[in-house]
Amino acid sequence: MNFSIEKNYRNNESLRASFNRLAEKTFGLNFENWYQNGFWMDNYIPYSVVIDGEVVSNVSVNACNMNYKDRIVKLIQLGTIMTDNDYRGKGYARTLMEEIMKDYEGKVDGIYLFANDSVLEFYPKFGFKQAKEYQYTKEVTISNECEAVMVPLKDKNDFDRIVEILDKTRQNAQLYMVDNAGLYMFYLSQFMTENLFYIADCNSYAIAETEDDTLILHTIIGEGDVDDVIAAFGSKVKNVVLCFTPKDAHGFDKNELHEEDTTFFVKGKFFEDSCNDEYMMQAITHA
């Protein structure tokens, strides 16, 4: 069957609509609002097999440059990996992976992805290796009441303001994504519109959520001390789970991260050089 490989076609309305239909069918996701709000930029590049004008298979490239211990590392993350049920078993995903490797291998410091359990034998064929991530947690006792103020994210003005903050503000983390506010906004503008908080005492923002007495802290935007930010969420918080790697892990428990149906695969020099380092990719930057 004749097919073409189409790349970076976000402004092609017909292909974008077809891509969204497949993403909806596969993951229950739709990228249209993200596009209409201006957050689908050149950092997110779909590589798609197209047959008769329809996207039937896709692997997307995300430019995920990272600030790691105060140096910039050029990485790409592969995501939105999907093939329509009617077109599986025809080698389209392999064709797309080969095209991406041709375009990026040796030109970036590393490539990574998160795979589900059904495809664990697929990625090693392209030189990927399974890698470990480590998560930091601790129990806390906080005496003060909650001082973290929710910053509403309701419309484009609110979204644009947080993009500017993300672009201009360092994060208090050992490893965090830079130059790609759009990927943060994929979450903040759709699923986490009530999860941005401002902590006045340390002039920092936190992306966070609470489940019962547990604070799940996704990142700190600003130089605010981790413990001060945690304390700002008040006495109801008894446990803290960090979804990023703190610069200073003193006082935290460290455990290898195990997520259901998720395996971290990596290749490239950065991951070879840091294979003994104990970090995690920010959960909010998973594509």
pTM for the model stands at 0.93
* C-beta of residue 197 within 8 angstroms of C-beta of residue 211: no
Whole-number Å distance between alpha carbons of 185 and 159 = 8
Q: Are 165 and 205 in contact (CB under 8 A)?
A: yes
How does DSSP assign 242-259, residue by residue? ESS--S--TT-EEEE--B
Rg (the chain; Cα; Å): 20
Asked whether the CA dihedral 150, 156, 161, 166 is positive or negative, the reply is positive
**Contact call for residues 135 and 259 (beta carbons, < 8 A):** no
Identify which of 80, 142, 149 has the alpha carbon closest to the alpha carbon of residue 113. Answer: 80
Question: pLDDT digits over 93-113, tens only?
Answer: 999 999 999 999 999 999 999
pLDDT recorded at residue 207:
97
pLDDT at 118: 87
What is the predicted pLDDT for the residue at 287?
A: 86
Q: What is the pLDDT of residue 25?
A: 97
Task: Provide the pLDDT for residue 1.
Answer: 72
Instruction: State which residues of the chain have pLDDT below 70.
Output: none
- Whole-number pLDDT of residue 163: 94
* Residues 6+ positions from 124 with CB-CB distance below 8 Å: 265
List, in order of start, the domains of the chain with CATH numbers: 4-132+257-285 (3.40.630.30), 136-255 (3.40.630)
